[in-house]
Chains A and B, each alone.
Chain A
Amino acid sequence: MKFHQTKLANGLSVIGELNPAVHSVALGFFVRTGSRDETAAVSGVSHFLEHMVFKGSDKYSADDVNRIFDEVGAKYNAATAEEGTLFYGAILPEYLPQAFELFANILRPALRQEDFDMEKNVILEEIGMYDDQPSFTAYENLMQSHFAGHPLGQSVLGTKESITALTCEQMRGYHRDRYLAGNVTLAVAGNTDWAQILSLAEQHCSSWPTGTCGRVTHEAKPAGGLKVITRPKSQQEHIMQMTPAPSAQNRLRFAAEILTVIVGDHSGSRLFWDLVDPGLAEAADLDFNEYDGSGSYMTYLSSEPEAIADNLARIQAIYAEVNLHGIREEELTLAQNKVASRVVLRSERPTGRLSSLGGNWIYREEYRSVGDDLATLRGITCRDVRELLDIYPLGATTTVAVGPLESL
């Protein structure tokens, strides 16, 4: 695999990791804009705009966009989060020029009023769909509570009210301000050549307006708290908790990743053996989420409401033990073996490499090969984890409950 990088005159970053041994090529436009970059007046606009991009440009109608992607057999989608909007696709190498041209073209969308009005219904339906998924309701409320007063607490989907009130003109303004060349990274992984990428980028992206966007990235200092959302007819109780962890720029993030595997992986972890294996809980996981300037550990517990108090006490006891005594050598080795295999398996598909490639670049302007990731993983020591825990101990600063319980 060979890595290349450049920057177009207008500021667009272009990176590629080329691998002639695979059959396909994946490309992604990583736009550094998400819900944290929105004002309250346009809450949900980043995600709504992601949908509107597929409604086409002056050159392509919505039908054209859907048709052409299918004609070239692209596997494509888009995703919006707190800090980024990603448009990506995997394609056979011979169709790369067509898929590239289409993606690049629709990233300057027409934002037609009639399309906007129609798609607004779809967004409202998407909000309704997530409302029927209790773990999503818990996550949405947790982010708002934990990061209250910090931009990371702003909802990705927005609310029924904010989406209903949003105008097409506001969305045009947001696109004009945020979709600037300097705010976008184009990443390509897989079977293609660098000269072709450069020529496609020059041809289709060099006219994009220059400029970059600022972002306030001070570390969140969550006040914490408890929010209970009672749904009397539900069967299970869903609990989510967050507590501060290293940011995307903090070198301790590697230790945080391995720590969450040891403590809270979906199988073989301390939470698994204590809660899931004996059948006390349906799920008990610990994840690490890294953001620009902030980070969080996130605990998820789902079980019968009657068992919640006992299960939460078990989790607290595990965290207290880890905070006090750290982790054991054999746990670390086991987790390293587990994660190494995941890294290699994921790297065998261009789409698997794309997210790592783009993520490293937009957060740190850094290229990390599979070999780099494996070497870092193998190099983590129990002492690194101890250092992490001294600064970022496990805990439950903020808690959200969704289910039959009226209080915790």
Chain B
Amino acid sequence: MPEQIIHTHELPNGLTVVIEPMSDVQSAAFCFLIPGGSAFDPAEHGGTAAALTDWITRGAGDLDSRDLSNALDNLGVQRNESTGLNHLAFTAATLGENVPAALSLYADIIRRPQLSDEEFEGAIAGIEQSLRAIEDEPQRKLMIELRRRCYDAPWGLPTEGSLEELARITAKSVRAHYDRCLRPNGAILGIAGCVDIQEMLALVSEAFGDWGTKPDSSMVTGPRGERIGHIHHDSTQTHIGIAYDAIEYAHPDYYKAWAAVGILSGGMSARLFTEVRERRGLCYSVSASLNSLKHEGRVLCYAGTTVERAQETFDVTLRELQRLGDGIESHELERCKARAKSSLIMQQESTTSRATSIARDWHFLKRVQTLDDIRRDIDELTVSGVLDYVHQHPARDFTVLTIGPNPLKVEEA
């Protein structure tokens, strides 16, 4: 692998810039994480941060909503805005030469949004539409509701809020969220691709250097939902969600946890796919993934299957999760390592995935791992190390949620 250069710089106001110049690409991407995510939504006002994420791009600086959108399109910016638990996330990718102009537009969006009354209604109506759409898609609904049941509030709450909460949100309350939460201290800007470090640093200082800090925002905590549950839906399939405790990204054993989940669900030779789909033909879709917050993590599993096979699918899936501690073959771990190595190298072909990775690393670790660092950690994994992890963090005390025509028997959970 060519040597990676990753430059990190913290502005006096606490905004951290992480830059990774990449050779052989014409594009560059950035990922901007700004404090003020949904975990900081006021009590019973879930969806406040989500409303801000939509509203904030509807006009900024001197440009109204349409002029701003046209300016970004003219720069060829492929963009995405999303609401995370901790941050509002803005990602953008375009040709490297257009990044300075794009960054300056994002400085307007983040620091000088118009947040005009006439644009507010459209933002809220859009969120209402997407909340209603989720009701028609049981698989999406399942994963949202599973999180609510396996994490305490606010960490398990849906970032989009609910229809009831949306009705309480006003332009005033969303502006208050902007004033209270969005700030440079704790903000992270990851930039990767065809860019020059010094040029980027100068631009970022000029655009964000005089952005004043704000105190930490408070959040409302609360209990999680029921551990075992069923939601009735006249769907063709029964959608099964299972969650159990794991560890967070910053934990020293993280790669062991990653390998444990990889052995269950990392590729088509992994256990869940093999046992549930290939050997028994129980479903089309079955998977498990590691989900990490800053201080805790879970394994989240999904399987979707027709009603008659749902109980067997659930039983077989649960058994596979539980028997991981009985033993792991060395070739299973080797395959996880091979897949990881290949993914790491291919990441270097995407400026967007590098920009996102370096910003995420800084959020979770307060440092950025080079691809070589990660490869070393992966290479050092051993079967006994992964098994020790599984014994320390066994799959048990499951949170189980099903959506479909009939509930399942979940006694052994």
Residue ranges of A at the interface with B (Cβ–Cβ < 8 Å): 21-24, 54, 62-63, 66-67, 69-75, 90-92, 118-122, 124-126, 128-129, 131-134, 233-236, 267-268, 273, 276-282, 302-304, 333-335, 337-338, 340-342, 344-345, 348-350
Contacts and interface: CB of A to CB of B under 8 A. Distances in A.
A282 B130 contact: yes
The 7 closest A-B pairs by CB, nearest first: A279-B125, A341-B76, A73-B342, A121-B281, A282-B129, A70-B267, A21-B24
Contacts of A337: 73-76
Contacts of B270: 70
Contacts of B279: 118
Given A119-B281, A303-B129, A341-B94, A350 B236 contact: no
A67 B95 contact: no
B268 A122 contact: no
A304 B129 contact: yes
Nearest to B277: A122
A279 B270 CA distance: 43
B270 to A, nearest CB: 8
B305 interface: yes
Contacts of A350: 349
Contact of B77 (A120, A128, A335, A341): A341
B139 interface: yes
B385 interface: no
Nearest to B25: A348
B281 A120 contact: yes
A120 B284 CA distance: 11
B33 to A, nearest CB: 21
A66 B281 contact: no
A348 B351 contact: yes
Given A132-B237, A279-B121, A334-B74, A75 B281 contact: no
Nearest to A282: B129
Interface stretch (B62-70, B180-188, B293-301): B62-70
B235 interface: yes
Given A69-B268, A134-B136, A304-B132, A279 B284 contact: no
Contacts of B126: 276, 279, 282
B324 to A, nearest CB: 17
Contacts of A234: 135-136
B50 to A, nearest CB: 13
B65 A345 contact: no
Interface string B250-281: 00000000000000001111100110011111
A121 B132 contact: no
B305 A125 contact: yes
Contact of B284 (A63, A90, A125, A333): A125
16 contacts: A70-B270, A71-B331, A72-B338, A73-B338, A73-B341, A92-B341, A132-B138, A236-B135, A278-B125, A279-B129, A282-B133, A334-B73, A337-B75, A338-B73, A341-B77, A345-B352
A348 B235 contact: no
Nearest to A343: B76
Given A121-B282, A128-B284, A132-B236, 11 more contacts: A22-B349, A24-B346, A54-B268, A62-B278, A74-B342, A124-B306, A125-B284, A132-B139, A342-B76, A345-B352, A348-B351
Interface string B37-81: 000000000000000000000100000011001100111111000
A53 B309 CA distance: 25
Contact of B123 (A21, A22, A279): A279
A279 B128 contact: yes
A66 B195 CA distance: 40
B359 interface: no
B413 interface: no
Interface string B216-241: 00000000000000000011110100
Nearest to A338: B73
Contacts of A120: 281
Q: How large is the interface on B (under 10, 10 to 19, 20 to 34, 35 or more residues)?
A: 35 or more
A63 B236 CA distance: 30
B274 A66 contact: yes
Given A67-B335, A279-B125, A73 B236 contact: no
Interface in B106-144: 121-126, 128-130, 132-133, 135-139
A91 B281 CA distance: 28
A279 B132 contact: no
B122 A278 contact: yes
A340 B74 CA distance: 10
A234 B343 CA distance: 40
B242 interface: no
B320 to A, nearest CB: 15
Nearest to B132: A235
A71 B341 CA distance: 11
A70 B138 contact: no
A303 B130 CA distance: 9
Contact of A71 (B66, B280, B281, B334): B334
Contacts of A125: 237, 281-285, 304-306, 309
B26 interface: yes
B305 A268 contact: no
A183 B405 CA distance: 45
A128 B236 contact: yes
Contacts of B352: 345
A128 B237 contact: yes
A168 B356 CA distance: 46
B158 to A, nearest CB: 16
B277 to A, nearest CB: 6
A334 B66 CA distance: 12
Contact of A75 (B123, B237, B269, B342): B342
Contacts of B65: 277
Contacts of B343: 73, 75
B284 A69 contact: no
A235 B133 contact: yes
A267 B128 CA distance: 18
A70 B269 contact: yes
Contact of B285 (A74, A129, A338): A129
